[in-house]
Amino acid sequence: MTTKLMWGALVTMAACAGPAEQAGGPGAQALATDDGTIERLEGATAERPCGDRTVANVALPNGNRLALCVLANGTEAIHEEGPLGRGAFFDVAARRPACGLDLFLAGTDASVPVPAALVDACPAEHQAVGLAARAIVDTPIFQPKVIVPTPYTNYCNVPDTTFASERCYHCDPYDDCIDWCVRDHWGWHDRTMSFSNFLGEEGNIAIETNSSCGGQTHVRQWERDDAGDAWGSPDLDYYVNAGSWTYSGMIFHSAVLFGQDYDFRLRADSASGAYHQHSGYFLDE
> Which pTM value belongs to this model?
0.87
Query: Rounded to whole angstroms, how far apart are CA atoms 164 and 92?
Result: 13
**Residue 6 domain-assigned (yes or no):** no
**Residue 9 domain-assigned (yes or no):** no
**Residue 7 domain-assigned (yes or no):** no
CA end-to-end distance (rounded Å), the chain: 30
Mean per-residue pLDDT pooled into runs of 10, the chain (285 residues): 40 38 84 93 96 97 94 94 86 67 92 96 78 94 76 62 80 86 94 73 85 94 89 97 92 63 91 94 85
**Residue 100 domain-assigned (yes or no):** yes
| pLDDT for the residue 77 | 96
**Residue 1 domain-assigned (yes or no):** no
**Residue 10 domain-assigned (yes or no):** no
Query: Rounded to whole angstroms, how far apart are CA atoms 21 and 24?
Result: 10
| pLDDT for the residue 35 | 86
**Residue 15 domain-assigned (yes or no):** no
Query: Rounded to whole angstroms, how far apart are CA atoms 153 and 127?
Result: 36
Q: Is the dihedral of CA 204, 61, 182, 223 positive or negative?
A: positive
Task: Write the secondary structure of the chain as one string of H (helix), E (strand) and C (coil).
Answer: CCECCCCCCCECCCCCCCCCCCCEECCCCCCCCCCCECCCCCCCCCCCCCHHHEEEEEECCCCCEEEEEECCCCCEEEEEEEECCCCCCECCCCCCCCCHHHHHHHHCCCCCCEEHHHHHHCCHHHCCHHHHHCCEECCCEECCCCCCCCCCCCHHHCCCHHHHHHHCCCECCCCEEEEEEEEEEECEEEEEHHHCCCCCCCECEEEEEEEEECCCEEEEEEEECCCCCCCECCCEEEEECCCEEEEEEEECCCCCCCCCCEEEEEEEEECCCCEEEEEEEEEEC
| pLDDT for the residue 6 | 41
In the chain, the number of structural domains is: 1
- Provide CB contacts within 8 A for 127, sequence distance 6+: 99, 101, 119
For 78, half-sphere exposure in the C-beta direction (CA atoms, 13 angstrom radius) is: 28
Task: Write the secondary structure of 177-208 as one string of H (helix), E (strand) and C (coil).
Answer: EEEEEEEEEECEEEEEHHHCCCCCCCECEEEE
Residue burial 140-169, b: 16+ Cβ < 10 Å; e: rest: bbeeeeeeeeeeeeebbeeeeebbbebbbb
- Identity at 280, one-letter amino acid code: G
Domain of 213, in residue numbers: 24-284
| pLDDT for the residue 164 | 79
| pLDDT for the residue 148 | 58
Query: Rounded to whole angstroms, how far apart are CA atoms 51 and 95?
Result: 28
Query: Rounded to whole angstroms, how far apart are CA atoms 50 and 89?
Result: 21
- Identity at 74, one-letter amino acid code: G
**Residue 18 domain-assigned (yes or no):** no
